[in-house]
A and B are shown apart, each in its own frame.
Chain A
Amino acid sequence: MALSCTPEELRFRDEVRAFIAARLSPELRRASSLNVSFFSDPDIVAPWQRALHERGWVAPGWPQEHGGPGWTAPQRWIFESECAAAGAPQLSPMGIKMVGPVLMRFGTSAQKKFYLPRILSGEDRWCQGYSEPGSGSDLASLKTRAVRRGDHYIVNGTKIWTTHAHFANRMFALVRTSDEPRQQDGISFLLIDMASPGITIRPIMMISGDHDVNQVFFDEVKVPVTNLVGEEGRGWTCGKYLLEFERGGGVNSPKLRYALEKVRGLANSDLSYKAISHPEIATKLSEIELDVQTLEFLELQVLSALQRGENPGPVSSVLKLRASEIHQAISRVGVEMVGQNALVEERRRPLHALNDTPIIPEGVLSVVPRHLNGRANTIFGGSSEIQRDIIAKQVLGL
């Protein structure tokens, strides 16, 4: 058992650091640090993804046969940690960490051959069609219907909370292909071209002023049958597999550590009137530090289990639950620290390209919007209540 890096791991870390130093420009870093949304905007992501793609580092968790770097679990951890610590833009997980793994597991060879390289290159930008207005936590009750007609499915219905639908050219969606006694059995996993006739997108503004999510409407949308992933009626299996990746397949604590370091920097600066000198702020930061350390260790334990070839089990719900709560604790203490600068509601976007100087310093500009947007952390990807249900059922046998 060792927390420290081996000499090879240290060499790898230096290699990653050198790459980041060479390819992550100060402009990109600044834009990324002012990005409020959960996923970075495409104009920030694209140059960084190109740089990573040249090096073959876009998808750390993918096997080599599909264009991944073939890294060990500790290498993946080091890579994620270094990128987060440097404030690099966050690539959209919807291709790399969500639909990608599903295609590798359930897709046909033609689907893998077509879609996977386009995820890596950034040519395809994916969005997720899961939730519906009447189906949030109770996802299996979804009603968007796909009816087979010849070589196509005809899709009618609507999806909601679709993050970055307005940037995406493709959607992976759960749709109802039949009515079965058990709702889950009538669901299929479909890949939909967002340029298809009959699709309209309605933006939904967040309380932070960000446009992240949308409602997507389908009116007689034709989807080729070849875009079905896995068997018809077995989409729930794909969907669940994907959600496990969404919740715990990645590593969250490096990003949380970066967010905490930023808040700590704020606490030590004049931007917060040196909030660190107030014992209650210093105490909160220590408590959050301990929560981050705990999550880090849990995630490293999962990586070690993966490295041994073991299945880490339903721990992804534990990780998602804690990561989302810690994220909110960090953003909340940030708001407390900036004091009356929290009074300004800055709704213009993007924050890195405002056409005049705001009345509050740039260093505190994203603090309140990030806190507002961050309230969604315990809601998306299965709310905290759903995670507790999963733990009770799958881990505790209740």
Chain B
Amino acid sequence: MDLSPSEAQRMLRHSAERFIAEHYGPAARRHAMQDPMGFKRENWRKLADLGWLGLPFPEEVGGFGGGPVEVAILMEEFGRGLATEPYLSTVLLAGTLIAECGTEEQRMGLLPAIINGERLLSFAHYESDARAGLSEVHTVAHTDNQGWMLHGRKMAVLDAVSADVHMVSARLPDAQGVGIALFLVPKDAAGVRLRDAPRLGGGRVAELTFEQARLPPDARLGTGGDMLPAIEGVVDRAVAALCAEAAGMMRSMFDATLDYTKVRKQFGRPLGANQVIRHRLADMYVQCEEARAMAARAALLVGADTDSTQRSLAASGAKVKIGRCARNVAEQAVQLHGAMGVTDELNLGLYFKRVLVFEALFGSVDYHLQRHVKLFGNSRSE
């Protein structure tokens, strides 16, 4: 029982802090947001050079063998700087599913190209509200002697516009029960239609439509079997990573607000001289610390060595606790900035929007609270 970071973890945090300080100043961030891809490709190459695109992958494919704790360190700093790179889509979702479920050809064909920054992937799974859960898939895949035909529609696909390959979930009509398969769909495959839009607070999001999209026989990820358990595991870990990112965003919002209340004067004294403001800031600080602790806890408990119930409890629990704290810190940060807080002249609004994105991704606070209630009850009655 020791929560001290290792020397390697300290170094990772240090270099991530430095990277964000150097590359995510306000001007650079606005510039990146105007890029049609939602981020700057040269930043992605820098992430590759630093080895971070290979952070969670095993060493045999050129990765660094890191776990959720290392990912959380990186994500927290990404959150502080409000990075918009498709790290979640390419590395933590699609890339991790390839590493865990892909055939040898798929692993060796794609992972080294992901790690060196050449290939980008999206993860196209949701079709309706995330509240419906991860098994709600209606996209279908038919097979014939030429390969696969994909038909359906995916919504809220993060970073699809920059992806070379979309990882798409679909049902096999002849499969019994809830079997879900994953397919690797090249961006230029016939029958694939992409409608791209800006994502709230930076980055891109898209709708993907597949109309009898033709895929080669080896487009299916892995060698068969239901992919839902693997998707659940990867999404739980993604939720934990997003929680760390949210903790970083909260910290930046809080720091900006604290600074502002020290310099902004009204009635002849700084805002921070008023007890009502001081106490609110104290509560915001407590929530930032709580969020950070809960994100670190989730990172320790969503690793591959945790059983699936404990893993899901840790992820959902963190989403609930951090979701509540993040919303309060974001709302109060805007409130304490006064009218400036609702203008586009500050970065604060971008953080506020990204908190909304955090809340909406992979299920709301209420969804995860109900999931926690159910899993917790089950885990106790066993």
A residues bordering B, Cβ < 8 Å?
Answer: 1-6, 9, 74, 77-78, 264, 276, 279, 282-283, 285-287, 289-291, 293-294, 297-298, 300-301, 303-305, 307-308, 315, 318, 321-322, 385, 387-389, 391-392, 395-398
Please give me the residue from chain A that is nearest to B258 by CB atom: A396
Please give me the residue from chain A that is nearest to B290 by CB atom: A294
CA distance A387 to B285 in the complex (A): 12
Does A9 lie within 8 Å of B1, measured CB to CB?
yes
- A51 shortest CB reach to chain B, Å: 26
B27 within 8 A of A: no
Q: Which residues of B contact A307 (CB under 8 A)?
A: 2, 4
Does B289 lie within 8 Å of A4, measured CB to CB?
no
Q: Which residues of A contact B293 (CB under 8 A)?
A: 294, 297-298, 301
Does A395 lie within 8 Å of B1, measured CB to CB?
no
Does A3 lie within 8 Å of B283, measured CB to CB?
no
A290 is contacted by which of B2, B3, B372 (Cβ under 8 Å)? B372
Q: Known contacts A282-B377, A396-B281, A398-B261; is A298 also within 8 Å of B289 by CB?
A: yes
Question: Secondary structure of the B side of the interface?
Answer: helix
17 interchain pairs (CB within 8 A)?
A1-B5, A264-B380, A283-B373, A285-B373, A286-B369, A286-B372, A289-B376, A300-B3, A301-B3, A318-B289, A322-B286, A387-B282, A392-B282, A398-B258, A398-B262, A398-B273, A398-B281
Please give me the residue from chain A that is nearest to B370 by CB atom: A283
Q: Known contacts A290-B321, A392-B278; is A1 also within 8 Å of B262 by CB?
A: no
Q: Which residues of B contact A387 (CB under 8 A)?
A: 282
Interface residues of B in 285-319 (CB under 8 A from A): 285-286, 289-290, 293-294, 296-297, 300-301, 317
A4 is contacted by which of B1, B282, B370 (Cβ under 8 Å)? B1
Please give me the residue from chain B that is nearest to A390 by CB atom: B282
Does B290 lie within 8 Å of A322, measured CB to CB?
yes
B residues bordering A, Cβ < 8 Å?
Answer: 1-6, 9, 69, 258, 261-262, 272-273, 275, 278-279, 281-283, 285-286, 289-290, 293-294, 296-297, 300-301, 317, 320-321, 369-370, 372-373, 376-377, 380
Does B321 lie within 8 Å of A1, measured CB to CB?
no
- B253 shortest CB reach to chain A, Å: 14
Question: Secondary structure of the A side of the interface?
Answer: helix
Q: Which residues of A contact B6 (CB under 8 A)?
A: 1
Other contacts beyond A4-B1, A385-B279: 7, CB < 8 A: A77-B1, A290-B320, A297-B297, A304-B2, A307-B4, A388-B278, A396-B281
Q: Which residues of A contact B282 (CB under 8 A)?
A: 387-389, 391-392, 395-396
Q: Which residues of A contact B294 (CB under 8 A)?
A: 290, 293-294, 297
CA distance A206 to B320 in the complex (A): 36
A392 is contacted by which of B69, B281, B296 (Cβ under 8 Å)? B281
CA distance A303 to B317 in the complex (A): 23
- B260 shortest CB reach to chain A, Å: 12
Q: Known contacts A289-B376, A391-B286; is A6 also within 8 Å of B369 by CB?
A: no
Q: Which residues of B contact A308 (CB under 8 A)?
A: 4
A389 is contacted by which of B261, B278, B377 (Cβ under 8 Å)? B278
Does A74 lie within 8 Å of B2, measured CB to CB?
yes
Does A304 lie within 8 Å of B3, measured CB to CB?
yes
Q: Which residues of A contact B281 (CB under 8 A)?
A: 392, 396, 398
CA distance A316 to B186 in the complex (A): 54
Does B301 lie within 8 Å of A3, measured CB to CB?
yes
Closest 5 CB pairs of A and B: A392-B278, A388-B282, A391-B282, A304-B3, A74-B1
A293 is contacted by which of B9, B278, B297 (Cβ under 8 Å)? B297
Does A321 lie within 8 Å of B286, measured CB to CB?
yes
Does A297 lie within 8 Å of B296, measured CB to CB?
yes
CA distance A301 to B5 in the complex (A): 10
B377 is contacted by which of A9, A276, A304 (Cβ under 8 Å)? A276
Please give me the residue from chain A that is nearest to B289 by CB atom: A318
CA distance A388 to B276 in the complex (A): 10
Q: Which residues of B contact A286 (CB under 8 A)?
A: 317, 320, 369, 372-373, 376
Q: Which residues of A contact B376 (CB under 8 A)?
A: 286, 289
Please give me the residue from chain A that is nearest to B293 by CB atom: A297
CA distance A77 to B1 in the complex (A): 10
Does B285 lie within 8 Å of A3, measured CB to CB?
no
Please give me the residue from chain B that is nearest to A6 by CB atom: B1
Q: Which residues of A contact B275 (CB under 8 A)?
A: 389
Max chain A CB contacts within 10 Å: which of B258, B262, B281, B286?
A: B286
